[in-house]
Structure 1
Amino acid sequence: MSFTTRFAPSPTGSLHLGHAFSALLAHDMARAEGGTFLLRIEDIDRQRSKPEWEAQIYDDLRWLGVDWDGPVMRQSDRLPAYEAALDALWQRDLLFPCTCTRRDIIAAASAPQEGGDPVFGPDGVVYPGTCRTPKREPFSMQSRPSGVALRLNMRLAVMAASEAVTDTPEGVRSIVRFVETGRGPNGETGVIETDSRWLETRVGDVVLSRRDFPGSYHLSVVLDDAAQGITHVVRGADLFDATRIHVVLQRLLGVPRPIYHHHRLIRDAAGKRLAKRDDARAIALFRRDGASPNDIRRIVGLPLR
């Protein structure tokens, strides 16, 4: 299996030290394996994505010494693929429409009957299932709606995606797996197994299509990785739990499952994960102040070139 990985930034702000670390690490791994390094622009956030940020991504990466193979994939060009996948999941009755606002979800998840304090998962507060109500006929008997969010029915999805089952004191649970060659946030590595109970209670019914866009991060990243032939995903440990969602979708959509390598996060002096609002750590500012690519490598703890 040829090693193929990618770097997939969003053009919603300047690349910072955390982006530099992830891009350089993935690029170094691909070149060490004699493999392929691809670039993808994740621009599904149409309101915040800007051409000038995309242009700066290319400029910063080239300055860092990161070169990519083949054309750049842009998610805004991939809408037909997302629509087709949504249609397939809808026809299997694995999606349901949701009109809840963020405030509605927090209020429902905080209700006394839910235990008081909401549970947080990869997408924030775990959805309490408000719109996933018993119905007289399957949603799939209707046309797939537009203008509303579509959520994955996680209970049905993990049953359909199951690779194995296990008996527990709470009953039979379905299991999905992926291979981790890096480290999760709690040191997880090797073959990672996740059961249906965890996915239902700690992840919940995630959004796969937004009100204003036929797709979501989870759906697009799975389809785009498959379309680019990605064999190894290199990304931050903050996305480790989201990988469990992606494995379920890979099984449902019949696409290959990459090997995952989650890496440590670059943090500020207070130990907080860097974000695009951390302008003081933007690569462009390091460049302006006379830093070299090797200075960036030294700061993030990578071998010098």
Structure 2
Amino acid sequence: MSFATRFAPSPTGALHKGHAYSAVVAWRAAQVAGGRFILRIEDTDFTRCRPEHEAGIYEDLAWLGLDWEVPVLRQSDHRADYEAAIQQLGERGLLYRCFRTRKEQAALARDGGDGSVFRGGPPELDEEAAFLAEGRPFAWRLSLAAARDHLGDLGRLTWIEEGLEPGLKTAVPERLGDMVIGRKDIGAGYVIASVIDDARQGISHVIRGVDLADMTSIQRVLQALLDLPTPTYRHHPLVLDETGQRLAKRKGSPSLKSLRESGMSAADLLAEFGL
């Protein structure tokens, strides 16, 4: 497979330095390998995505001096593909409905001792029937127990890591538990859409921040269940703020647009990154 990588932002807000670093690292990797750099718009959550944010992504990346293949794939244009995959997994008994509210999930996570892991399970059949009759919203979760029944030991699933701590890695999906794959109200989410699109677009290398490293185990399980190829992964360090915390849209981290308007050049930013 020829080298192909991607930068796949969600248009839910303005890009910040962390996004810029990830995009430039991926773009440069494609340049060095003589391969493809693909921009993908991951707008599955239509309740938060905005056209002006998508327009800002193009403006910011052009300011950084990057170019990419066109046309750009928008996940909102391919919802039917993701829903078909969810339906397939559901028919094979690999998903279950979860009716817990965010508050209930947080309490469950606290009781389990790790807020990042879902320690729940499917509802009882009579309880599920009652909730459905009420029209209560739910999320589709991937059942790791059912996945083991289909695939055997999930630890046999592997991938090659070329970034931090390189080598052959084995899946440990238990670190994240039964993850949400889609929701009744907004449909399929990032986790399943990304593996489908990585296969669709021939992505050979997934280059992204180390904060998503644990997600690889869940995506590796989905690749096996859906008979999709496994890319090589390359996780890089995060760009941190002056307090040592990761940058985030929800925290109001300075946007690339604001840095640009303050007089910073793309060359200044790349020098700050050591690039």
TM-score with structure 1 setting the length: 0.82
Q: Match of 1:170?
A: none
Determine helix, strand or coil for the equivalent of 1:78.
helix
* Alignment of 1:274 onto 2:247: yes
1:162-194 deviations in Å (ceiling 9; x for gaps): 5xx5xxxxxxx74211110001xxxx3210013
Q: Match of 2:144?
A: 154
CA distance in structure 2 between the aligned counterparts of 1:43 and 1:4, rounded to whole angstroms: 21
* Alignment of 1:47 onto 2:47: yes
* Amino acid in structure 1 at the alignment position of 2:27: H
1:25-66 deviations in Å (ceiling 9; x for gaps): 000000111100011111112122111111011011011111
Q: Which runs of 4+ in 1 moved over 3 A?
A: 277-280
Q: Match of 1:191?
A: 168
Can you give the 5+ residue segments of structure 2 that lack an aligned partner in the other structure?
130-134
Shift of the 242–67 alpha-carbon distance from structure 1 to 2, 3 Å rule, reads same
Alpha-carbon RMSD:
2.1
Q: Match of 2:92?
A: 92
CA contact (8 A) 1:106 1:118 kept: no
Shift of the 297–159 alpha-carbon distance from structure 1 to 2, 3 Å rule, reads farther
- Among 112, 118, 133, which residue is 2:113 paired with? 118
Can you give the 5+ residue segments of structure 1 that lack an aligned partner in the other structure?
111-115, 140-144, 166-172
* Amino acid in structure 1 at the alignment position of 2:107: A
Q: Match of 2:119?
A: 128
CA contact (8 A) 1:30 1:37 kept: yes
Q: Match of 2:271?
A: 298
* Amino acid in structure 2 at the alignment position of 1:178: W
CA distance in structure 2 between the aligned counterparts of 1:267 and 1:109, rounded to whole angstroms: 27
Shift of the 278–284 alpha-carbon distance from structure 1 to 2, 3 Å rule, reads farther
**Matched ranges for 1:252-291 at <5 A:** 252-277=225-250, 279=252, 281-291=254-264
Identity between Structure 1 and Structure 2 (%): 45
CA distance in structure 2 between the aligned counterparts of 1:286 and 1:104, rounded to whole angstroms: 40
CA distance in structure 2 between the aligned counterparts of 1:286 and 1:190, rounded to whole angstroms: 37
* Alignment of 1:36 onto 2:26: no
Higher helix share: 2
Shift of the 223–72 alpha-carbon distance from structure 1 to 2, 3 Å rule, reads same
CA distance in structure 2 between the aligned counterparts of 1:55 and 1:179, rounded to whole angstroms: 34
CA contact (8 A) 1:16 1:279 kept: no
- Among 179, 182, 197, which residue is 2:163 paired with? 182
CA distance in structure 1 between the aligned counterparts of 2:67 and 2:106, rounded to whole angstroms: 43
1:240-276 deviations in Å (ceiling 9; x for gaps): 0001000000000011110000000000011000012
